Amino acid sequence: MNPSLVRLRIPLGPDLHQRVEALFDTGEIAGWCLLSAADDGPVFLEGIFASEREARGAWLALAALADLPAEPAPTPESLPPQDWQLSYREHFKAWSFGRLHWVPEWERDAYRLPSGHRALWLDPGLAFGTGNHETTRLCAERLVQAASSDAGRPAPRSLLDAGCGSGILALSAALLGIPRIEAFDNDPEAVRISRENAARNGLADAVVFALAGLPEGLDGGPYDLVLANIQADVLTRFADELLAAVAPGGLLVLSGILAAECDRIQAAFAAAGPVWSWESRRLGEWADLAGRRPR
């Protein structure tokens, strides 16, 4: 093991968080991960590097991409070589909604599921997230509710996860029994990690993961349920295409939206889909937007 491992950990406010997430969405950022210990806790950008020189170079590249001042640079923290992997674990705790649970892989033997519940086992060292962030949780909650037999509507038979990241939402849909599930991301690494997560959970054949972006990733529609946890300006740019990907009577769930900009995003989608019904929910500083297409 290399004794010179160092960590850079940078706290992110909402505006900077959104800018950094956009870089993940476009595949322009590598070697970093987003970490959050709780719903209402701070979000950090963290990277583990072999030396202070490598950490410095990574910071300068990130600052240029995200339009940040390069100085003062964050202070590198030396890590004992045996501890760097464990540093991710402190930020990922098991959580649940309804009958679905998202659980760290290392708790597989000890975690006890209630009867009839399912768990998605996740590795918190993956750079594309573990579902802890508010935007993912908002989508996951909508998904669980849509798939419930108590939802008052037929459960969706087809689902598309647009911008799938680590595949958490698509794989959650598989655990909930949705028979046709497709997902795409424009980052090859995200698609690879999604497939790894699928294999880890015995779901390799349950989801079709594809390398694609918007709007070409929507070509297989329409779908009963479309989830798009993507940066807000990207959502509005492809509003027409996202609406068209939803089957009559189906649901479109948008996330990656700051609560302060939700009204603007809803207005844009309401203009593009004037006969749809819309509602929004908030979690911390973030919001989702759910639209139902009329039959």
pLDDT tens digits for range 164-197: 988 999 999 999 999 999 999 988 888 988 999 9
Q: Can you give the pLDDT at residue 2? A: 43
Buried b (16+ CB within 10 A) or exposed e, 137-169: bbbbbbbbebbeeeeeeeebebbbbbbbbbbbb
Q: In the structure encoding, which two tokens stand for residue 144, read together?
A: 């669980």
What pLDDT, on a 0 to 100 scale, did the predictor assign at position 132?
Answer: 66
* pLDDT for residue 43: 79
Closest by Cα among 228, 173, 164, 226 to 203? 173
Per CATH, which fold does 95-292 belong to? Rossmann fold (3.40.50)
Q: Are 23 and 65 in contact (CB under 8 A)?
A: yes
End-to-end CA distance of the chain: 60
d(CA 138, CA 256): 9
pLDDT digit string (tens) for 278-292?
Answer: 999 998 888 999 999
Is the model's pLDDT at 15 over the cut of 90? no
What confidence category does residue 1 fall into, taking pLDDT thresholds of 50, 70 and 90?
Answer: very low
Asked if residues 176 and 102 have their Cβ atoms less than 8 Å apart, the reply is: no
Domain 6-89 CATH assignment equals 3.30.930? no
226 against 11, higher pLDDT? 226
Comparison of pLDDT for 132 and 203, the residue scoring more: 203
Per-residue pLDDT at 193: 86
Under a CB-based contact definition with an 8 Å cutoff, are residues 154 and 176 in contact? Answer: no
pLDDT one-digit tens code per residue, 24-63:
655 556 667 777 655 556 778 888 777 888 888 888 888 8
Contact 104, 110 (CB under 8 A): no
H or E element: which one contains 23? helix 14-26
The angle that helices 168-175 and 188-200 make with each other, rounded to 10 degrees, is 30
Q: Which two structure tokens, joined as six digits, stand for 286? A: 């973030």
Map out the domains of the chain as residue ranges: 6-89, 95-292
What is the pTM (predicted TM-score) of this model?
Answer: 0.74
| Vertex 104: Cα angle to 103 and 105 (nearest 5) | 115
Looking at residue 46, what is its pLDDT?
82
